[in-house]
């Protein structure tokens, strides 16, 4: 018994990956110089998901990476099941890594009798056993308050702005928000790009018709400038393509689209491939299949940011310092 009392507990970081984006998990693991924990996962004939970890997780500091890619509900359910398995196997702390947070656009009620599904998501993760959430570029920052625990809201902007500076830094730039609601993010971009002027697209949207909006006019001076059109995600591409067309019609020299999450649903790839933008810059928070890649698409890796944040959480260091660029 005396020898047991003298033992010093050792902390153990383990990284787990769902099946939605294993390539990203492997990138993160390589940067952390660890291995992704071997996991058995499969679907029953009726669609139910089974998960079992192939090694002991008792007392570990668990990091569960799953991006909510299509089919999104299966990705979410698989991650919840993984969290539950870890909790029941006595993991010490469970950090959920959500490069793309599903249902984040449903963060408030536009009409009566609607859900606030982003809050429901947070409740599900808390109930499953998550101690902490780590995510990238939420649709709105206040979603952090939906989870009753620490939330690390990572920003892809430094990764994106480094690329933009390198390629377009000598041009006269303007930063453009595709709507008035994201003007604050556009301001941060403008500061990161050395005080580039701001503009935004005035648009209208019918809350009863999802994925549809109409770009009305450009507010701000964009004539003769390379416009960096920034957004958190590209879903069907309708909004961002209309905005790019409006900028070119208003005299912009060129338009570069930059977004964190490449959802790329339905007609998005055809729209982006054929639009007036000279480059579409995204990160790999979501998997992008080969048939959804095109010549003007640039994909930047989010793995270094996730790896740095994971190491900081594990070592009880500062995550906020990663936001500085």
Q: Which helix (H) or strand (E) holds 249?
A: helix 238-249
Exactly one of 87, 166, 184, 203 is catalytic; which is it? 203
203 is catalytic: yes
Q: Where are the alpha helices (DSSP H) in 33-116?
A: 72-88
Question: How many other CB atoms sit within 10 Å of the CB of residue 43?
Answer: 12
Pairing of strands 254-262, 49-53: unpaired
- Burial (0-12, 13-18, 19+ Cβ within 10 Å), 165: middle
Q: Give 294's strand partners.
A: none
d(C-alpha 109, C-alpha 39), whole Å: 38
CB atoms within 10 A of CB 79: 29
Beta bridge partners of 230: 258
Q: Which residues pair with 152 in a beta bridge?
A: 134
Q: Which residues are designated catalytic? A: 203
């Amino acid at each position: 018994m005396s020898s047991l009392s003298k033992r010093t507990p050792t902390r153990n970081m383990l990284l787990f990956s769902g099946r939605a984006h294993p390539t990203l998990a492997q990138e993160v693991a390589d940067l952390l110089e660890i291995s992704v924990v071997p996991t058995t996962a499969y679907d029953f004939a009726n669609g139910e998901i089974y998960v079992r970890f192939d090694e002991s997780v008792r007392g570990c500091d668990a990091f569960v990476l799953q991006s909510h890619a299509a089919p999104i509900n299966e990705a979410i359910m698989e991650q919840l099941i993984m969290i539950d398995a870890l909790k029941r196997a006595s993991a010490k702390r469970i950090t959920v890594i959500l490069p793309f947070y599903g249902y984040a656009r449903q963060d408030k009620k536009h009409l009566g009798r609607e859900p606030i599904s982003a809050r429901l998501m947070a409740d599900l993760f808390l109930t499953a056993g998550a101690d902490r959430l780590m995510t990238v570029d939420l649709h709105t920052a206040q979603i952090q308050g939906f989870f009753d625990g620490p939330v690390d809201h990572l920003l892809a902007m430094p990764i994106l702005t480094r690329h933009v500076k390198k390629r377009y830094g000598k041009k006269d730039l303007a930063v453009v928000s595709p709507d008035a609601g994201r003007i604050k993010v556009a301001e941060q971009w403008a500061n990161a790009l050395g005080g580039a002027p701001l503009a935004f697209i005035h648009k209208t949207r019918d809350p009863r018709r999802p994925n549809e909006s109409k770009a009305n006019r450009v507010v701000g001076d964009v004539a003769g400038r390379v416009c960096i059109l920034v957004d958190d995600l590209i879903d069907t591409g309708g909004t961002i393509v209309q905005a790019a067309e409006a900028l070119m019609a208003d005299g912009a020299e060129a338009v570069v689209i930059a977004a964190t999450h490449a959802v790329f649903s339905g007609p998005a790839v055809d729209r982006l491939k054929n639009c007036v933008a000279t480059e579409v810059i995204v990160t790999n928070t979501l998997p992008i299949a080969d048939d959804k890649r095109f010549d003007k698409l640039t994909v930047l890796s989010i793995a270094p940011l996730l790896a740095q944040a994971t190491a900081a959480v594990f070592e009880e260091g500062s995550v906020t310092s990663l936001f500085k660029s």
